[in-house]
Amino acid sequence: MGFLWRTRLRGANEKKITPVISWPESEPESEITIPPEFQCPISIDLMKDPVIISTGITYDRESIETWISSGNKTCPVTNTVLTTFDQIPNHTIRKMIQGWCVEKGSPLIQRIPTPRVPLMPCEVYEIRRKLSSATRRGDYEKCGEIIAKIKKLGDESEKNRKCVNENGVGLVLCDCFEKFSGDEKLTFMLKEILYLLTWMVPIGSEGILKLASPSSFRCVAGLLKSTDDSARQNAAFLMNEILSLDETRVYAFAFENGIAEALVKLIRDSVSSSATKSSLITIYQMVLQKPEIASEFLEIGLVNLTVEMIVDAENSVCEKALAVLDAICETDKGREEVRKNELVMPLLVKKIPKVSESATRSSMSVILKLCKTENAFAVEEVVRLGAFQKVLLVLQVGYGEETKEKATELLKMMNTQMKLMNGCVDSLKEFKYIKKPF
């Protein structure tokens, strides 16, 4: 039995909320009148979480937060400029609403549960201060208690996570991680810190520097190679943040600690879509910043693994796998290894433009790199696979300039080859009907 709320005026002030019930046609429509003092002045709906703002007016928390987040700085009722955006729970009104819901005893009205009060910046400041103090003292037990509290608060609502993230907790957690990263007995706590840090990205350069210290990096690498799938996923996610420093010492740590093997193993184990994407993003970052590192990935079978993901993975994974393949093709050895896989060219042509603009751009980029290396042979292959018409389509849709530039370059290359192939297609005829891109 479903229903929706319909509002209509009654008298000068009171509004009547009429639930329209899916009763059989023979039964009359039921109506319930909500007292005006229980209605939010913004939504005119029954308040679920009444709060008082600085002007003394009570609103439903969700409605007034939407009003403020839209850029409004005044009270909707009085039009007075708000001196503060703080919201104080109106427990009196909430209890009256709950009592009214029980009194009505109607299946049409669900009792309003007691809402959880969102975390306030002043509370986060106190949490941060205590965690920082415990870290400096080396009091890991106290740190563990505070970390557990932060996790619980974050799991309660996205709003709490945002409040924690915006008030500097990430940096203190990085400091705590570095402090205790060398103690294997505290692995559980370190795993919890990594989990918390995943929803505090971007962490900031100061925090990343702490994670990139020798002891912290070894700890993250150890968790990436552990048997705990959740810890492996979080470590892969944060490894990309650490490598964003683009420092020689960080990549040296990566070599020393077997990061390449651990990332590829995480993909092979199919832990989760998120873990696979985190690994691919990190691999892309490593290969793009340091092309010489590609050889290490080639030796452990990354190309064939990437091709498998392009074949049957979901679009978001396929997109990242194509980006990795593109990065690998930056080196001669990488292009040679990619060309050995006979599925590569057919797959690249097939993915234009089926997945996304990013995937299309990566596909064309790989094709261009292979064609420039092998010249006529590779160009003839993509022509026979039907790439010409697909790339023409790329020019006609609303893709960005970089994508269209690659499409134009590839079309010119194919058009030249097609003339050599006994003049299969006249150049002017093929380009005549291309719509001008805007």
pLDDT digits (tens, 9 = 90+) for 290-309: 877 888 888 888 889 988 88
Q: Is 389 exposed, middle or buried (0-12, 13-18, 19+ CB in 10 A)?
A: exposed
> What is the model's pLDDT at position 157?
81
58 phi, psi to nearest 5 deg: -100, 135
3-state SS, residue 16: strand
Q: What is the distance between the alpha carbons of residues 196 and 169, in angstroms, rounded to a whole number?
A: 10
> What is the model's pLDDT at position 108?
58
- Give the single-character DSSP code of 46: B
Q: Over the stretch 353-395, which tens digit does the pLDDT of each residue have? A: 777 888 888 888 888 888 887 667 778 888 888 878 888 888 7
Name residue 198's amino acid. T
> What is the model's pLDDT at position 159?
83
4, β-bridge pairs: 20
Q: What is the distance between the alpha carbons of residues 389 and 54, in angstroms, rounded to a whole number?
A: 63
Q: Tell me if the bond preceding 19 is cis, omega within 30° of 0.
A: no
Per-residue pLDDT tens, the chain, 438 aa: give them.
333 333 333 333 444 443 333 334 433 445 678 888 899 999 888 898 899 999 999 999 889 988 988 889 999 999 999 988 888 889 898 888 888 888 877 665 666 666 677 788 889 999 999 999 999 999 999 999 999 999 999 888 888 888 898 888 999 999 999 999 988 899 999 999 999 999 888 888 899 999 988 899 889 999 999 999 999 999 999 988 888 776 667 777 777 778 888 999 999 998 888 899 989 998 998 888 887 788 888 888 888 998 888 888 888 888 999 999 999 988 888 888 888 888 888 888 888 877 788 888 888 888 888 888 766 777 888 888 887 888 888 877 777 888 888 888 888 878 777 776 655 444 434 444 444 433
3-9 and 15-21 strand pairing: antiparallel
176 phi, psi to nearest 5 deg: -65, -40
Q: What is the distance between the alpha carbons of residues 111 and 65, in angstroms, rounded to a whole number?
A: 23
pTM of the model: 0.69
Instruction: Give the DSSP H or E segment for 274.
Output: helix 273-289
Q: Do residues 324 and 280 lie in contact, with contact meaning Cβ atoms separated by under 8 Å?
A: yes
